[in-house]
Every structure is written in structure tokens, then in C-alpha cells.
């Protein structure tokens, strides 16, 4: 392989990585944190839903199944596990369209 070709390929990859994210990609990346923030807000607005604050007579599973905690967990898992793949697909589609 010619060194110039390899250099050009490496330069192309660097340019792709440096390109700003599209608005759709930014929105997808923001979905998880916004959802988690919504769960935290829900816990603050309705603290009686968090039986961790008053666990008297509650079993372990009842304490574990807190709806606001689920919302926060889903938001974090979406951001960490699903959003990067979705953004990668969006960027790949944008490159093919151009």
C-alpha cells in the first residue's frame, strides 16, 4: 500500500471524527439524561413514592421496585448502551446520503 493512500485514509477518519454531530444525533444522546432527570424530578415532587425514605414494614423487593428509580435506571442504560449505536447508525446514514 502506498504511504500517501494510507495517509489519506487516516486523514479521512480524523475528519469524520472531528465533524460535529447532527442535531438528530444530539437529540438521541440527550434522551437518556433527560429521562434520568425526569426520574429524579419525579422522586423530588412525589417523595412518598420512595419507600426507601420510610421503609417500615417493607420487604427488600418492595424497596427495590421504586418507579422513579426505574426511570433513572432506564435513562442511564439508554444513554450508555443504546444511544451510541443509534448515533453511529445516524452518522453512517448521513455519510451515505452525502
Instruction: Taking residues 17-36, report their average pLDDT.
Output: 87
* pLDDT: which is higher, 98 or 6: 98
What cell does 90 get? 445516524
The answer to whether 85 and 37 are in contact (CB under 8 A) is: no
Q: Which pLDDT score, from 0 to 100, does residue 31 have?
A: 97
Is a pLDDT exceeding 80 seen at residue 7?
no
What is the rounded CA–CA span in Å between residue 43 and residue 72? Answer: 10
What is the rounded CA–CA span in Å between residue 22 and residue 19? Answer: 9
CA distances from 36 to 21, 30, 33, 44 (A): 22, 10, 5, 13
* pLDDT: which is higher, 66 or 24: 24
What is the rounded CA–CA span in Å between residue 39 and residue 29? Answer: 17
pTM assigned to the model: 0.69
* pLDDT: which is higher, 8 or 57: 57
Amino acid at each position: 500500500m502506498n504511504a500517501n493512500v494510507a495517509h489519506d485514509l487516516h486523514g479521512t477518519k480524523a475528519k469524520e471524527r472531528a465533524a460535529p454531530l447532527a442535531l438528530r444525533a444530539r437529540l438521541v444522546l440527550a434522551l437518556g439524561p433527560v429521562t434520568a432527570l425526569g426520574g429524579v424530578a419525579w422522586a423530588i415532587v412525589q417523595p412518598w413514592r420512595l419507600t426507601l425514605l420510610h421503609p417500615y414494614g417493607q420487604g427488600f423487593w418492595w424497596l427495590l421496585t421504586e418507579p422513579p428509580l426505574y426511570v433513572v435506571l432506564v435513562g442511564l442504560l439508554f444513554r450508555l448502551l443504546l444511544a451510541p449505536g443509534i448515533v453511529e447508525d445516524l452518522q453512517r446514514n448521513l455519510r451515505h446520503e452525502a
